[in-house]
């Protein structure tokens, strides 16, 4: 029985972060009262005319540059004609054979193996409205045109497809999202639909050099769903072929509750759209000066930043990867590291306790109640011996709930390390007096391993405030004679 190899290509749509929509002055924002951000242009009223949003064009050029594409100086818009109730004009303004970005690539890593995913095109179009279907007797449907005309960027991977596993497709999408958010062209929120992706999946017998019939999966709104959806399709298609049946080329939806894909519609052919150049807009005519001035605005991208984190801060590859996941997180780390001069400690606290606290309250790093200054302050308190690492675990929780600076909390709670030698000695003696058997075991029988118990008792009675090094030294001294 032949083993089957998955083959995957991706079409991704990203809603662009602009103030206004693509061809009119309506505000571009998510949600809101239905049909409150519309005008004659984005509701397709006869006689209205589109005006191009320069910012959106620049976002696409910058993205194309970041994805190593060349820029088509003669890009222009076309009409893609089709009827659907969420498309009031009866056509979508898009780019057909003259996309802004052509022939780029993106490297993705899975399990230490790098795959170069080639990109065929990056183009600009407008989003459609949204339909809502109410269940029930009336079978009513509603349309919300707030999203109609929102600038939308499409990124399509090249043929022949490069990806060979669901993990690779997921990694591609994560990398793409990181780049888009670093560029600040898209907020990357899959759950709000600002980043949507349609994997194209086929399978073929291992060793084959032709490609099988593909299906396209829609409605995937999380990384997890992307991975699961692809895995499901690979298995479904492999079983079909194994049993001598054929894969039908079609678009399939993803059902989150059954974790399965289902047939949606068979593939429309390109000719049905009757593409033709949009007569109401001038061609773009993108000059070299414009491209170069946009290139100079590109931020340090995730891969470059990760390499720098390894080289400049001496972070392990794993830490550097995690911390450069989003630009905000990377900024947070750098600001903390700069202020505490201990990058590894900063990395550990951010990836450990801080991430846990953020997750538990469903907060993003941008809404973190602990400022980088305060986190750095806490790390300095530990380094300077003012508090123990153990107290710091409690302190960070307190900082998270109150937002107060660490020094203030330590002062208010009396969490300073016990450094007064007399007070500490008092405590140690008390513990020795309370545990004569242990002390004699150590002194007479040489059971030095029991010292740990005594140290633990002192730490407990000091509520974690005693300096463990000093406690160890005192216990050594007083169990010796
Ligand atoms: P369509 O016109 O059906 O949208 P495209 O030719 O535009 O198809 O390709 C869309 C995506 O599907 C691209 O990323 C492409 O690489 C990928 N693709 C094409 N053929 C296959 C295949 N047999 N298996 C998997 N992916 C494919
Ligand atoms: Zn409008
Ligand atoms: Mg397609």
Residue 139 is predicted with a pLDDT of 83
The predicted model gives 173-185 an average pLDDT of 96
Model confidence pLDDT, tens digit, residues 114-155: 999 999 999 999 999 999 988 888 889 999 999 999 999 999
Distance 146 CA to ligand 3 centre (A): 25
Q: How far is CA 466 from each of CA 181, 374, 385, 392, 404, rounded to the nearest angstrom?
A: 45, 23, 10, 13, 24
| Residues flanking ion ligand 2, Cβ below 5 Å | 24, 26, 39, 41-42
User: What atom in ligand 1 is closest to the CA of residue 202?
Assistant: 24
Residue 28 is predicted with a pLDDT of 97
* Closest ligand relative to 24 C-alpha: 2
Alpha helices in 243-353 (DSSP H): 288-295, 302-313, 317-323, 327-340, 343-349
Ligand 1 proximity of 214 Cβ (cutoff 6 Å): yes
Could you tell me which residues are beta bridge partners of residue 33? none
The tokens describing 282, both together, are: 């001038």
pLDDT at 481 > cutoff 70: no
What count of other Cβ atoms lies within 10 Å of the Cβ of residue 16? Answer: 26
The chain-wide mean pLDDT, for the chain, equals: 94
Ligand 1 proximity of 375 Cβ (cutoff 6 Å): no
Distance separating alpha carbons of residues 412 and 424, to the nearest angstrom: 21
- Beta strand extents in 158-257 (DSSP E only): 195-205, 215-217, 250-255
**Cis amide bond preceding 239, omega within 30:** no
Nearest to 145 by CA among 28, 307, 238: 28
SS3 419: coil
Stretch among 167-176, 345-354, 378-387, 455-464 having the lowest mean pLDDT: 455-464
Locus of tokens 């993803």: 254
Ligand 1 proximity of 94 Cβ (cutoff 6 Å): no
Distance 382 CA to ligand 2 centre (A): 56
Locus of tokens 């088509």: 72
What count of other Cβ atoms lies within 10 Å of the Cβ of residue 255? Answer: 13
Percent of the chain with pLDDT over 90: 83
Model confidence pLDDT, tens digit, residues 269-310: 777 899 999 999 999 999 999 999 999 999 999 999 999 999
Length of the chain: 481
Q: Which of 125, 214, 268 to mutate to test the pocket of ligand 1 (most atoms within 8 A of CB)?
A: 214
Q: How far is CA 32 from each of CA 36, 38, 141, 318, 396, rounded to the nearest angstrom?
A: 7, 12, 18, 40, 37
* Closest ligand relative to 49 C-alpha: 2
User: What atom in ligand 1 is closest to the CA of residue 212?
Assistant: 23
Stretch among 38-42, 94-98, 431-435 having the lowest mean pLDDT: 431-435
Distance separating alpha carbons of residues 371 and 62, to the nearest angstrom: 31
Distance 48 CA to ligand 2 centre (A): 10
Residue 268 is predicted with a pLDDT of 65
Distance separating alpha carbons of residues 465 and 46, to the nearest angstrom: 75
CB 127 within 8 A of CB 152: yes
Distance separating alpha carbons of residues 92 and 231, to the nearest angstrom: 32
Distance separating alpha carbons of residues 76 and 278, to the nearest angstrom: 8
Model confidence pLDDT, tens digit, residues 331-341: 999 999 999 98
Ligand 1 proximity of 159 Cβ (cutoff 6 Å): yes
User: Atom 11 of ligand 1 has which residue's CA nearest to it?
Assistant: 9
Ligand 1 proximity of 200 Cβ (cutoff 6 Å): yes
pLDDT at 1 > cutoff 60: no
Model confidence pLDDT, tens digit, residues 54-68: 999 999 999 999 999
Q: Which of 200, 213, 252 to mutate to test the pocket of ligand 1 (most atoms within 8 A of CB)?
A: 200
Ligand 1 proximity of 161 Cβ (cutoff 6 Å): yes
* Closest ligand relative to 22 C-alpha: 2
């Amino acid at each position: 029985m032949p083993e089957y190899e998955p083959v995957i290509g991706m079409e991704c749509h990203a809603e662009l972060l602009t103030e206004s929509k693509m061809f009119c002055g309506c505000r571009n924002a998510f949600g809101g009262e239905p049909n409150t951000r519309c005008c004659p242009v984005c509701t397709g009223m006869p006689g209205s005319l589109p005006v191009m949003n320069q910012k959106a064009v620049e976002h696409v050029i910058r993205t194309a540059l970041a994805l190593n594409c060349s820029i088509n100086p003669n890009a222009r818009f076309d009409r893609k004609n089709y009827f659907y109730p969420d498309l009031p004009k009866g056509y979508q303004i898009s780019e057909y054979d003259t996309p802004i970005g052509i022939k780029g690539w993106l490297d993705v890593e899975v399990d230490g193996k790098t795959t170069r995913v080639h990109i065929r095109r990056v183009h600009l179009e407008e989003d459609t409205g949204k339909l809502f279907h109410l269940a029930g007797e009336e079978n009513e449907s509603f349309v919300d045109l707030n999203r109609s005309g929102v600038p939308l960027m499409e990124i399509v991977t090249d043929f022949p497809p490069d990806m060979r596993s669901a993990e690779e497709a997921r990694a591609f999408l994560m990398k793409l999202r990181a780049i888009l958010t670093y560029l600040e062209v898209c907020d990357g929120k899959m759950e709000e639909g600002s980043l949507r992706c349609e994997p194209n999946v086929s399978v073929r017998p291992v060793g084959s050099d032709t490609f099988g019939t593909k299906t396209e999966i829609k409605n995937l709104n999380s990384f997890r769903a992307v991975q699961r959806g692809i895995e499901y399709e690979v298995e479904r298609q492999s079983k079909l072929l194994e049993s001598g049946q054929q894969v039908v080329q079609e678009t399939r939806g993803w059902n989150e509750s059954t974790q399965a894909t289902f047939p949606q519609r068979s593939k429309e052919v390109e000719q049905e759209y009757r593409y033709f150049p949009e007569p109401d807009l001038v061609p773009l005519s993108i000059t070299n000066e414009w491209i170069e001035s946009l290139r100079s605005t590109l931020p340090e991208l995730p891969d470059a930043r990760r390499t720098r984190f390894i080289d400049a801060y001496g972070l392990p590859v794993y830490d550097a990867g995690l911390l450069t996941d989003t630009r905000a997180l990377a900024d947070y780390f750098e600001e903390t590291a700069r202020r505490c001069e201990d990058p590894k400690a900063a990395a550990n606290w951010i990836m450990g306790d801080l991430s846990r606290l953020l997750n538990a309250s469903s907060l993003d790093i941008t809404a973190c109640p602990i400022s980088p200054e305060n986190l750095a302050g806490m790390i300095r308190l530990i380094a300077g011996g003012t508090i123990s690492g153990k107290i710091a675990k409690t302190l960070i929780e307190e900082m998270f709930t109150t937002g107060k600076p660490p020094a203030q909390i330590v002062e208010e709670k009396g969490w300073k390390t016990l450094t007064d030698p007399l007070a500490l000695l008092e405590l140690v003696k008390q513990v020795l007096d309370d545990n004569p058997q242990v002390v004699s075991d150590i002194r007479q029988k040489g059971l030095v391993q029991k010292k740990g118990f005594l140290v633990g008792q002192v730490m407990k009675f000091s509520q974690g405030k005693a300096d463990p090094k000093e406690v160890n030294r005192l216990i050594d001294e007083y169990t010796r004679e």
